[in-house]
Structures are given as structure tokens and as C-alpha cells.
Structure 1
Amino acid sequence: MTQSDPAIEWLLDSDPAIRWQVMRDLLDAPEREWTAERAKVETKGWGAKLLACQDEDGQWAGGAFLPAGFGPREWRKQGQPWTATTFSLSQLREFGLDPSSERARRSVALIGANARWEEGDQPYWQGEIEECINGRTVADGAYFGIDVSAIVDRLIGERLEDGGWNCERINGSVRSSFASTINVLEGLLEYEKATGGTPASRQARETGEEFLLERNLFRRLGTGEPADHQFLRFLHPNRWRYDILRALDYFRASAILTGAEPDPRLGEAISHLRSRRLEDGSWPLDWSTEGRVWFEIDDGPGKPSRWITLKAMRVLKWWDAGV
């Protein structure tokens, strides 16, 4: 891939949160160049805009998972809101806010001191009760330098017999879900990047990966039918939701960390990803979630998406180099 590629040029003509990842993942730029671009996330574009929405106590919208004052009526009329602390922090991680920056360190310290989960009232960095939420909390905490080992141990103990996770386990579910599993896997991977992981966390990650791989990332194990046709439609930001591009991007990151070769069982999802590329070299945003957001970062469903395109191009670059 070269900077003269029209799709690359289009990605570079964007926000620092996109540009630095293009430089690192697609153009193999020297580290000093992409880190300089990454530093701009704190002061320019989407990253700076989201940081400007932060409350003085370190939270966003006055809550951990839900905005202050949010009620069931708004949920019914507008959908789940995405402005509270957990979703804002995850978005900053995706943008690539430097975790060693003074702003990042101060933010996570304030969150630890002031944010408490609406479900259970426990301090933020002790985790919530649902596996889906705790997977993302582990990912954010590990990325930003917080000791989340206690939440990791809890997630390991909550693994189901089929190797994955389901946030409905507490209500009696005994089968893992694609969404819960990818949320936990991303958290365990970030934890492993930060700390090296433990034998138990690495084993849990392996069984969670196997849960997805033996289903080709989207099929029911029993019938072979798609578990949900939405898994084949591309979404951004994913929040807690699952699609095959999210899973492919995870497996790419996992393989880079461990040195593993691409698993052939990813091939069907890769073929579908290739089939969705537009004539101009981009990929479209298929749908987006309803609900309150701080600001939009895509042009809307049906339009080319820089975030989807970035992830798709780096997945295919990794896959093509390894097969």
C-alpha cells in the first residue's frame, strides 16, 4: 500500500485519530512519524472534541454507564444513550489517545475517584456486573494503565462451558453470545498487551477465540446458518455490538501479538469483507445505532466510512501477507 492509493489519500485527508493508524498500519511509517501524529488526538479533531465534553470530575454526562437524569422514556423513544463515561472512554481508546499523556492519566484517576456504576454502586475500576461491560472496562483500564487484574479473574471464572461468555449468564443462559465474547476477548487482549497476561487469561482467550472460529465468526454451530444477518453488516462505532469486521480486526491484533498465522476458518468472513468493497476502494457504513451521542464521526449509513475502510484495509493487508 502506498500513499498514492486513492483510498489511502482519502483516509489521510481526515482526523488525526484516523491518520496515525493509517500511517502505522497501512503505510508502515517510522514510529516517530505516527507517534507525532497520534499526539494530535489530544489537541485536535475528534479526540479534543470528546475531551472537551468531559465533566470536571472526570466523568462524561455525569454517569458511568448512563447519563445523569436519563430515564426509561428516553430509552424507549431514542434508544440507548452513548454519552456516558464508559462509551466515551472506549472511544478515546479507539481514537488512540496516548495513555501516557498527562490528560489521560488525570482522566482515569478522576474516574477512579468519582465514577460509580449505576448497577451496584461499586467504584468504576472495580468493574460492573455484566461480562460485556466488564470486557470493555478491562480493555480501557489496561490501555490506560489501570490494574484491572481483579476484573480479569472474575471474567475468567464466568466463562461458559462452550468457551465464551454471555452477559445473560446471570439470568440462566448457558450458551455464549458472539457480542459478549468479542467484548471480553478485546479486554483480555488489551490486558495481555499491557501485562503479558497470566496462564489463565491466555487460556481463556484461546477458548473464546475457538468459540468464534469454529462458527466461522458468524454461523450457528448446529445448523450452519448465520446466527444473525446483522453480523455481516458493518457498524461503527460498535459499542457493545458484534460484526465480522470487529472480529477480524481482533484476530489480526491477536495474531500480531502472538506471532500466529491467520486461521483458515477466517476465510469465509474475509471473502465477504472483500465482496463489500466499493468501486472507489472504500467500504460503506451499513448501519448505526440509535441514541444520544456527543457528535457523529461518519457521514451516515450507506455512505463510505473511513473507520470501516481503515479496519477493512488493515485486516486484508494482514491476511494477504500471511496466506
Structure 2
Amino acid sequence: MPEQDAVILWLTRADPAIRWQVMRDLLDLPEADWAAERAKVETEGWGARLLACQDADGQWAGGAFFPADFTPDEWHRSGQPWTATAFALDQLREFGLDPTTELARRTVALIGAHSRWDEGGQPYWQGEVEECINGRTVANGAYFGADVATLVERLVDDRQPDGGWNCERAAGSACSSFASTLNVLEGLLEYERATGGTDRSRDARRTGEDYLLSRHLFRRLTTGEPADPQFLDLLHPNRWRYDILRALDYFRAAGQSTGALPDPRLAEAVAHLRSRRQADGTWPLDWDLRGRVWFKVNDGPGKPSPWVTLRALRVLRWWGRG
């Protein structure tokens, strides 16, 4: 069996959240086929397991960003917890839970009615002050059908002079960050897919993309050195963190949505991604975030990761077609 076929077979034996995306993005199967597999996310595997952890009021772990029982000591002792509502929604969107189901619609309504942000008590779908959080809230809201138009306008207004975003803006930061910018870009793209976007939101997405592209996804504009060596390591789940594979997968999704060809400034990041492929055709998980989770979806650092491999293969496929 050719190496590529063996990797595809390995991926199709993974969770339904992986399988349906392999069928759509790597095998080009008809929508009727992958949609039937996607429907299993609600009832089988990781999706069903995460949904089973949901509170009666629609939240997870009793809180929007932090679990209800969180204390600052936990962060210092074992890392940021990832079990609250914001991160559960991130994963359900990544798993591909069908947003049109009764369960998904009920979740959106319950969160809107009961969840409040830890920072200032704002209703969940109105967002809070940090651009990283608000970008992902827009992505989840747009995907699951919540009204996030007002939050999109706030994000557009929160752009830095260099075209991107920084979650430390409210604390006085005047320049953008890679992570904040990508979090917002993903949200604006999801909003554009759901509603068509606005002239202002599409322009903001363009300037945010230029911020990352002018830095070849990982280099400082001033020195050309890597802004953070960990940007070149492969992480999953990313939560709010940045790496080049997450950025490349965003540009793939954006290109497929708009028909834009791959930008040549992605070439260096693509070459690095190719170099990280293992002899068996898979990609490893380089590191994992500390902190409380409901369950793991990878076997651990150093092991082949179905999630990293899926994302890498579909990025390279898109790049090759471009």
C-alpha cells in the first residue's frame, strides 16, 4: 500500500470528527457521504463525550472562560484550565458538530441566557475585552448561528495601526501579536462564511492577513528572526496559541472560501511543514498545553497525531493545487 494510502486509512480509523473531514478534504467524497459521517459527531466519540460534560444551563464547568471552581493557585500549580464553555465550543466547532441540530441551537440559546464573562459579567455572545477571546467568540457564534454582528464591529474598531490585533490593547499595547491576529482572523472568516461579512469586516480580514504574510507567518518584521521558536512546533489543540500549521490551515480555509490562490509568502512555512513529516507519512504532536481538560484527543508529544496530520495533509493538498 502506498504511504499516502496507509496514512489515509489510519485517519479513517480515528474518531468521527477526524473521519468526516478526511472524507471531505482529502478524499473528495460527495457531501451525502461525509455529512452522514459528520452527524455521528453528536452521538459518538469525542463530540458525544464532550457534550455529555455539558451543564444543565448550557455551559461547561460552570463558567465562560474559567471553571466555576477555578482558583489562581491552579494556574500556577498545573496550568490554565481548558474545561469551561469557551474552550468546549472551540472544540465542538473543530469537531464539526452540525450547527443546525436541535442540540446545537439549544446550546446557543442556553449560553446566551445563562453564561456571563468572568472579566466583567457581560452576556456571553456580547464578548468581553480581549481580542483573542472575542475573535474565538465570533468564530463560535457565527458557526453556531448566534448574533455576533455587534462584536464583529468592535473587533474591526480594535485593529492596531499595523493591521492586526493584540489582546493587550486595553492595557496600552500599540502593536499586534501573531496569536491575537489569528484568533480574530478565524472569527472574521467564520462570520464571512455565515453572513457574507461587511465591507469593514472584509477589509479588516485583509489587513490582518497582510500582518501575518509580511512576516512569513513566523518572522519578526524588524530582524527577520523567528518571533517565537515555538511557532514552528506543532501543537494541538491550539486553544488560543499560535503555530504555523494553525495559520496555514486558516489561509487554506480562507482561500477555499474566496477562491484566492495561495500567497507566495506562505512558501517558507509550507517548506518547514513538509520537513516535519515523519518517515511513515504522519506528523507528530510536538507539545501539549498544561492544564485541566475533559479528555485528551492525541496520544501525547512525540507521537503521531491524527489532528496534526489531517491539517498538514489538507494544507499541502491546497498548496499543491494552487
TM-score computed with the length of structure 1 as normaliser: 0.98
Partner of residue 241, structure 1: 241
Matches within 5 A, 1:75-224: 75-224=75-224
Contact 2:132 2:240 in 1 (8 A): yes
Partner of residue 47, structure 2: 47
Aligned-residue CA RMSD in angstroms?
A: 1.0
Which amino acid is the alignment partner of residue 77 of structure 1? R
TM-score computed with the length of structure 2 as normaliser: 0.99
Partner of residue 34, structure 2: 34
Partner of residue 278, structure 2: 278
Separation of aligned partners in 2, 1:133 and 1:9: 36
Which amino acid is the alignment partner of residue 287 of structure 1? W
Structure 2: where are the runs of 5+ without partners?
Answer: none
Number of residues of Structure 1 aligned to a counterpart in Structure 2:
321
Separation of aligned partners in 2, 1:95 and 1:10: 18
Separation of aligned partners in 2, 1:4 and 1:225: 34
Q: How many Å apart are 1:147 and its aligned residue?
A: 1.0
Q: How many Å apart are 1:69 and its aligned residue?
A: 1.6
Separation of aligned partners in 1, 2:74 and 2:198: 42
Contact 2:3 2:280 in 1 (8 A): no
Q: How many Å apart are 1:200 and its aligned residue?
A: 0.2
Contact 1:262 1:319 in 2 (8 A): yes
Q: Note if 1:251 corresponds to 2:257.
A: no
Partner of residue 311, structure 2: 311
Contact 1:3 1:27 in 2 (8 A): no
4+ runs of 1 displaced by more than 4 Å?
none
SS class of match (1:5) = helix
Q: Deviations over 1:128-169 (max 9, x none)?
A: 110000000000000001110000000000000000000011
Q: Percent identity?
A: 73
Partner of residue 321, structure 1: 321
Q: How many Å apart are 1:4 and its aligned residue?
A: 7.3
Matches within 5 A, 1:279-298: 279-298=279-298
Separation of aligned partners in 1, 2:73 and 2:262: 46
Which amino acid is the alignment partner of residue 280 of structure 2? D
Q: Deviations over 1:180-238 (max 9, x none)?
A: 00000000000000000000000000000000000000000010000000000000000
